[in-house]
Chains A and B, each alone.
Chain A
């Protein structure tokens, strides 16, 4: 394990952080909702996949193909039914609703799956790797995760910049009232933004579940990574989020090279430094 290896692993991990953080950034950018249940949603996706795999015996990739669209639909409904009502009551109300959702989700998971720590078995794929150089080996799982994350981010970017609905999402982030003057129904636009957020968080949750173990209460500590990636990269910029995720990933894996106990602390310190010296983020820029 050399320094180069640490950087490569950090970059690959950063892709996953970015994917995980995208939904948080999108929901804040478009609706000004800070979704405190974001981490728990990833964990719900993990458990759902676990239940589907053990319950139906379907291969993992099929479960993923089912879970992600299901979460998108769930996201749309959550926005229309739950969050939309609280939006009119101001930012504090939405914060409380998502906080409540976070607690409810954790307790449902605890009730259904118990407090045991689980992993999602990705089979030989999750452990196999190939050598990049003599000292650097790349796991198929981390590489796939990274590529999927980049593909998802690129897909969202194309959607936001090339389609009419994507344009309205960005327009609504700038100025909701004027967007309604263009014929955009903000409830629908918000629903779409939440659907994308839920789909990406589900994908990220499944990836996390194959990399490391999870339990019903791990959501909030995962949420920290998403917040850090978003803040480091700069709010409201997809590429900023990718950069933020990578900075976070590299900081963690480099410090783990020095002392494994420093892993999380190093990430938090980078986050703190960015907040103190460049609060607009590394790539402050255009809205989501």
Chain B
């Protein structure tokens, strides 16, 4: 069943047409990873789904409901939560206050403070600490916990691995199956291709705002991904090239 459906979406980032007539669908309960080089439009796409960048044209539908023009703050009760690029924790709030901020307009559901502390056991001991004192990996975990507390149907994670050591990234991704099992669908943006192939059910590779390759990680060869990633000629002919189509 389709949870999120994006049709012919065009979004500008300043003057740049960052997302260019993109279409994709996210099925309920799956992990879809968007990969692509710097400036491929991945983050802009996620920001448009979260309501931060208004699209120029196209439509976004969540659970059959058109949310294209809905402001960001109303998308939270509608079931969307974004873990933003660079974590963006509230610096003057404690760890626990950051988590609770996520529950401000959240939906009722399985996720609460205790459940997040279960997911990341170290967090309970440091709940009173200022969020700015945490390491990058810890901040990322808090940012994910914060998003979970709104009990989203769709969890958007933007560049989880940015600036973190691979071992830390792997440890954070280990909780993803638990999150999906609890009934959340995940749409990830990831620059680290091998990490994305490991955790995702399906991949989309973006190039200059268009979807140039999509498929299941197992069915894609490293060459296909590499060529799509860097936009080398027509070498991805073996895969499922789809210029904006789904």
Residues in chain A within 8 A of chain B (CB atoms): 164, 167-168, 170-171, 173-175, 177-186, 286-287
Contacts and interface: CB of A to CB of B under 8 A. Distances in A.
A164 to B, nearest CB: 5
Interface of B: 50-52, 71-74, 76-77, 81-82, 84, 88, 90-93, 97, 100-106, 146, 150
28 contacts: A164-B104, A167-B100, A168-B101, A168-B104, A170-B90, A170-B93, A170-B97, A171-B90, A174-B92, A175-B88, A177-B52, A178-B84, A178-B90, A179-B90, A180-B52, A180-B73, A181-B50, A181-B72, A181-B84, A182-B105, A182-B146, A182-B150, A183-B73, A183-B104, A184-B104, A185-B73, A286-B92, A287-B91
Contacts of B101: 167-168, 171, 179, 182
Given A173-B92, A179-B101, A181-B72, 20 more contacts: A167-B97, A170-B90, A174-B91, A174-B92, A175-B90, A177-B88, A178-B84, A178-B88, A178-B90, A180-B52, A180-B73, A181-B52, A181-B76, A182-B76, A182-B105, A182-B146, A183-B74, A184-B73, A185-B73, A286-B92
Contacts of B146: 182
Contacts of A182: 73, 76, 101-102, 104-105, 146, 150
Contacts of B88: 175, 177-178
Question: Shortest 10 CB-CB distances between A and B: which pairs?
Answer: A183-B105, A183-B76, A287-B92, A286-B92, A174-B90, A178-B88, A180-B72, A171-B90, A180-B73, A185-B73
A174 B77 CA distance: 22
A170 B81 contact: no
A93 B38 CA distance: 36
A189 to B, nearest CB: 9
B104 A167 contact: yes
A181 B93 contact: no
A155 to B, nearest CB: 19
A181 B92 contact: no
A185 B104 CA distance: 11
Contacts of A177: 52, 72, 88
A184 B84 CA distance: 16
A287 B90 CA distance: 10
A160 to B, nearest CB: 10
B106 A183 contact: yes
A184 to B, nearest CB: 6
Contacts of A185: 71, 73
A179 B103 CA distance: 11
A171 B90 CA distance: 6
Contacts of B93: 167, 170-171, 174
Contact of B92 (A170, A179, A183): A170
A126 B72 CA distance: 51
Contacts of A181: 50, 52, 72-73, 76, 81-82, 84
A167 B102 CA distance: 11
A27 B150 CA distance: 28
A287 to B, nearest CB: 4
Contacts of B71: 180, 185
